[in-house]
Amino acid sequence: MMAASGSHKELVFAPLGGVGEIGMNLSLYGLGDGRRKSWLAIDLGVSFASEEHLPGVDLILPDIRFLVEERKNLSGIVLTHAHEDHFGALLDLWPRLKVPVYATPFTAALLEAKRLSEPGAPEIPVTVVKLGSRFKVGLFDLELVSVAHSIPESNAIIIRTSLGNVLHTGDWKIDPTPVVGAPTDEGKLRRLGSEGCLALIGDSTNAVRDGRSPSEADVAQSLAAIIKESKGRVAVTTFASNVARIRAVADAARASERELVAVGRAMERVIQVARETGYLENVQDFRGIDVYGHLPPDKVVALCTGSQGEPRAALSRIAQDDHPDVTLNKGDRVIFSSRTIPGNEKAVSRVVNGLVGQGIEVITDRTHLVHVSGHPRRAELEDMIGWVKPQILIPVHGEALHLAEHAALARTLGVGHVIICRDGDVVKIAPGIPVIIDEVPAGQLYKDGAVLISAEGRTVADRRRMSFSGLVTIAVALTEKGVLASDPEVEMFGIPETNAAGEDMSDLAYDAAIETFESLPKPRRRDPDAVAEAIRRGVRAALSAKWGKKPICQVHVLTV
C-alpha cells in the first residue's frame, strides 16, 4: 500500500467524471503523501452520446489512464447505486483495473443481469455489502447511508479517515414516502454532524430549483387517478430502473382492474431483478406481451421502455406504428412518467409527434404530476448541510450553473470553505486550508460499437465532416514513366449528383483530376505521393467552387 509519515499525509478528492457535467460519474479519494497515495474509487458511470454531435458513438466513458497507472494503489471501487451514469462503464473498464468492487444486493444483481445480456462481457467478482453496513476498503473506513432516489438502494457514503470524515452523498433526495425502499436516513446523517464532518461532496443536479421535490407517493396517486379515468388503452413509459414507478403503475393497474404488460427488454430485466431482491413483493404478475392484443382496451396497461426517444425502444416503435405486438389507437393514452434528459429533446419530440399524429393523447409532467426528480432541490440541500454541518463543501454532479448555485447556497448557510473544481482537479481536503493542488489526466472515451476510442482521436471528427460534406474517392493508375494507364475512376458518397447549374458533380471531379495531373511537371508525375496530393487539392477546390462545400477527398495512386 503506502508508507507515508503522518506529518506529510494528506487527504485529497479527485473527480475524473461527473463534475462540470451530469453523467459519467467517477470520484477518487486519495490518502497518503505527495509521492504515493492509496486510492478509493466511487462509481464508474457513462454518459449517453447524441447521434447529432457524435455520430456512431454509443456511450461516453471516463478516461481512466490515471487509474490504470495507479492500479496497484487502487484499493477498490464502491458503487453508490445502479444507474447507468454511476455504474454503466464497469463492464467496459473494469478489465483494465481488475480491483475489488463493492455493491449492495440490488445493484450487484442488476449488474449481473446486465452482464448476462451483453455477449462477451467480463465476469466481475462483486463483494455484496448490506444496506447501512460499515466496512473497510484499504485505508478507508466506509459506512453506507440509505438515501431516497429514483432507484432502489441508493447510498451516500461516509468515508472515515485518519484526517477526518467525508460524506459523499451520491444521488439523493428527501422523500418521506418513497414507495420503494427506505427514506433518507436523517438520523445517521445527524449523528455524522455530531461526530464531525470535514467535507461534504454533494449532488448539485437541482440546485437551481427552489423548494422541495414532491414525493414518489404523490406521483403514484396521480398515476392511479389518470389510469382509472382512462377509457381506452394506457401505455406508461418511465426509466426502467425506477422500481418505485413500476410498482406505482402496477398498483394503479390493479386498482383499475387492468392487466399489466411489460414491453421492452430493459424493463423486463429490472422487473426480474426487483422481484428477486424483494422490491416487488405483493405486486401482481406481469402478463406476457403475447396477450396484449387479446385484452380489451379498457383492461390493459402497457409499461414501456423508450422514455428518452431511443429509436429501437418499444415506445419509439409504437409511435411509428412499427411494433410487432403493441399498437395504440385514437383515444388511447400514453403517459410520459419521466423527464427528458438534456440532449434527447429532439428524439422525444419525434416520438410524441408520432403518437399525437395517430390521435393518441400524450400526458407529460408539463400538465400532470406524473414524474418527480430523484435529486434534491434547494430546501433539501439546506437540510443536508444543516444535519451534517460540514467544514468544507465541494459541489459535484452538475454542470457549471448547478455547481455555482450549490456553492452560493452553501456560503449563505455559513459553510467555511466552498471549493468549485472540475474533472481532473486534485483538491486537498486535509490537513490545512482546502485548495486545488494538482491536476491529473481526465477526459472521455467513446464506445464505438465494440471498440473504445479516445475522444481526442480523428475518428468521430472525420465522421462529422463526412456527414456534412460527403466523400469523394479517386483511383489513378500510373505507369513507371508517369503516364496515365487508364482513365481515373471517381466515386462519390453523400454528394449531390448535380450542382445548382445542373453540372454533373462526378464529371467535375473527373475533369479536375485530369487537369491537375496534366498541369504537373513531368518529373513530378512519376511521384505517386505528389500526384495524389495535387489531385486531392485540385478536386476539392473544383468542387468547392461549384458547390460551396469541400468534401473529404481520398486519392489512391497505383503504379502499374
Is 461 a member of any domain?
A: no
pLDDT of residue 49: 67
Rg (CA), the chain: 28
Q: Residue 64: which CATH number? A: 3.60.15.10
Q: Nearest to residue 19, comparing CAs of 240, 168, 138, 157? A: 168
Tell me, yes or no, whether 65 and 171 share the same domain. yes
Q: Nearest to residue 262, comparing CAs of 290, 286, 293, 297? A: 286
Tell me, yes or no, whether 232 and 154 share the same domain. no
Three state DSSP letters for 418-441: ECCCCCCEEEEEECCCCEEEEECC
In Å, how far from its chain's centre is CA 488? 47
Tell me, yes or no, whether 235 and 359 share the same domain. yes
* Grid cell for residue 94: 473494469
Predicted TM-score (pTM) of this structure: 0.87
Distance, in Å, from the CA atom of 245 to the CA atom of 283, rounded to the nearest integer, reads 12
Distance, in Å, from the CA atom of 75 to the CA atom of 99, rounded to the nearest integer, reads 7
Tell me, yes or no, whether 238 and 297 share the same domain. yes
- Of 315, 339, 363, the position where a domain reaches its end is 363
Question: 476 has which bridge partners?
Answer: 557
Tell me, yes or no, whether 200 and 247 share the same domain. no
Distance, in Å, from the CA atom of 210 to the CA atom of 478, rounded to the nearest integer, reads 72
pLDDT of residue 55: 61
Distance of CA 526 to CAs 413, 476, 479, 539, Å?
76, 12, 8, 19
Q: Residue 548: which CATH number? A: 3.10.20.580
H-helix or E-strand containing 76?
strand 74-78
Is 402 a member of any domain?
A: yes
Contact 308, 344 (CB under 8 A): yes
Tell me, yes or no, whether 356 and 228 share the same domain. yes
Contact 499, 547 (CB under 8 A): yes
Looking at residue 365, the DSSP 8-state letter turns out to be T
pLDDT of residue 102: 98
Distance, in Å, from the CA atom of 438 to the CA atom of 30, rounded to the nearest integer, reads 13
Tell me, yes or no, whether 62 and 189 share the same domain. yes
Q: Nearest to residue 419, comparing CAs of 439, 386, 393? A: 393
Q: Tell me which residue range forms the domain holding 491.
A: 470-559
Is 476 a member of any domain?
A: yes
- Of 300, 334, 363, the position where a domain reaches its end is 363
Question: Which residue, chain included where needed, has cell 398498483?
Answer: 251
Tell me, yes or no, whether 236 and 302 share the same domain. yes
Looking at residue 214, the DSSP 8-state letter turns out to be P
pLDDT of residue 4: 39
* Grid cell for residue 316: 419509439
Is 529 a member of any domain?
A: yes
Contact 560, 478 (CB under 8 A): yes
Residue type, 530: A
Tell me, yes or no, whether 273 and 335 share the same domain. yes
Question: Which residue, chain included where needed, has cell 491536476?
Answer: 439
Is 4 a member of any domain?
A: no
Tell me, yes or no, whether 310 and 434 share the same domain. no
Distance, in Å, from the CA atom of 361 to the CA atom of 329, rounded to the nearest integer, reads 10
Distance, in Å, from the CA atom of 516 to the CA atom of 557, rounded to the nearest integer, reads 14
Is 5 a member of any domain?
A: no
Distance of CA 430 to CAs 162, 163, 198, 438, 441, Å?
10, 6, 8, 14, 22
Looking at residue 213, the DSSP 8-state letter turns out to be P
Q: Residue 233: which CATH number? A: 3.40.50.10710
Q: How many structural domains compose the chain?
A: 3
pLDDT of residue 3: 37
140-149 pLDDT, tens per residue?
Answer: 999 999 999 9
328-353 pLDDT, tens per residue?
Answer: 999 999 999 999 987 789 999 999 99
Contact 358, 331 (CB under 8 A): no
Tell me, yes or no, whether 356 and 378 share the same domain. no
- Of 330, 363, 396, the position where a domain reaches its end is 363
H-helix or E-strand containing 400?
helix 400-412
Is 368 a member of any domain?
A: no
- Residues whose CB is less than 8 angstroms from the CB of residue 337 and which lie 6 or more positions away in sequence, other chains included: 219, 223, 236, 237, 238, 242, 245, 249, 307, 370, 371
Question: 557 has which bridge partners?
Answer: 476
pLDDT of residue 460: 67
Q: Which of the residues in the chain have pLDDT under 50?
A: 1-7
Phi and psi at residue 464, in whole multiples of 5°? -60, -45
- Residues whose CB is less than 8 angstroms from the CB of residue 546 and which lie 6 or more positions away in sequence, other chains included: 499, 501, 503, 505, 508
Is 465 a member of any domain?
A: no
Tell me, yes or no, whether 447 and 553 share the same domain. no
pLDDT of residue 53: 67
Contact 310, 58 (CB under 8 A): no
